[in-house]
Amino acid sequence: MIRAAVLPAVGSPLEIIGIELPEPGPGQVRVRLAAAGVCHSDLSLSNGTMRVPVPAVLGHEGAGTVVSVGEGVSHVAPGDGVVLNWAPSCGTCHPCTLGEVWLCAQAMSGAASVHARTEDGTELHPGLNVAAFAEETVVAANCVLPVPDGVPLTDAALLGCAVLTGWGAVHHSARVREGETVAVFGVGGVGLATLQAARIAGASTIVAVDVSPEKEALARAAGATDYVVASETTAKDVRKLTGGHGVDVSVECVGRAVTIRAAWDATRRGGRTTVVGIGGKEQQVTFHALELFHWGRTLSGCVYGNSDPAKDLPVLAEHIRARRLDLGALVTERITLEGIPGAFDNMLAGKGGRALVVF
């Protein structure tokens, strides 16, 4: 028996209970978690914005130590430190053959599997494949990647979602060039990673936007040169900081219609707006045909930072070892499993950066 955070039904409170976890079968790996980040996607799963089979063990951003491996697993061994990859690519579907592994058609196929059972025998699913809100987990072999040398195991948990997403939004989706201006909307865990990525890319002006004035110090420590408290004049306030033109790149990390629209309006003519935040179907964003023509902007979605974790983790590790990328700066709270509901409440209230469950 191990302890885990279980979502019994959509909209229900999380329950911290004991579950029965099987030993790894062929092609599987058992991992003892060192840490797991509490991401907004976990909140989206709990409230039904994103749909997965329930009851489920949530958590998808984690790292830990391999306990045992099943038949046929050779790329990791017991005792190895690993990062969990919640969106593994199959390598054979149409997006994968195009090199767009972040759009793999089979990435979520494991979410419907039976992951574990409660004491009374109730079947549990892995929320986003990896069920990281637990002391241990059993995952498919392609859901683990070796922790790069020189990266502390606890900090490595953040590589599994927030950092790959923020890094990829800047370097793969928006493709920020040295000297360009950038605005980042939303200063949570992903937003803080995005700010650091923009700084590493050499952006000249980096504007952080958030509803909370209290996050300014966090944003500036991550690389923001300017800070704007969100209001009805957000786009105008951002444009004033760039000579009235608007930023070259806006990255939206919230997933709300009003924020997406503000990010678009804050982008210069011919600039790029990248949407990272995951919103519900009720978040409708509208544009009229003339403005699309006149402004010539590019609006694009961004899944998992458009990243290939196997290729990007070594690059990120080099920045970490060189102290250009500070994983610890993303964390504003270290908690236990029992602290996850409180971390959800803080997200809804717009407080803090990343909460990290430490086992």
The residues with which 249 forms a beta bridge, in sequence order, are: 182, 272
The pLDDT of residue 209: 98
pLDDT number for residue 52:
85
Alpha-carbon span 3 to 15, nearest angstrom: 10
Closest CA to 106 of 116, 124, 94, 123: 94
Cross-strand pairs, 137: 31
What are the b/e assignments for 102-122, b being 16+ CB within 10 Å?
bbbeebeebbeeebbebeeee
> What's the pLDDT at 50?
85
Strands 28-38 and 61-69, how do they pair? antiparallel
Q: Which residues of the chain have pLDDT under 50?
A: none
- In this predicted structure, what is the pLDDT of residue 118? 96
Q: What is the pLDDT of residue 220?
A: 98
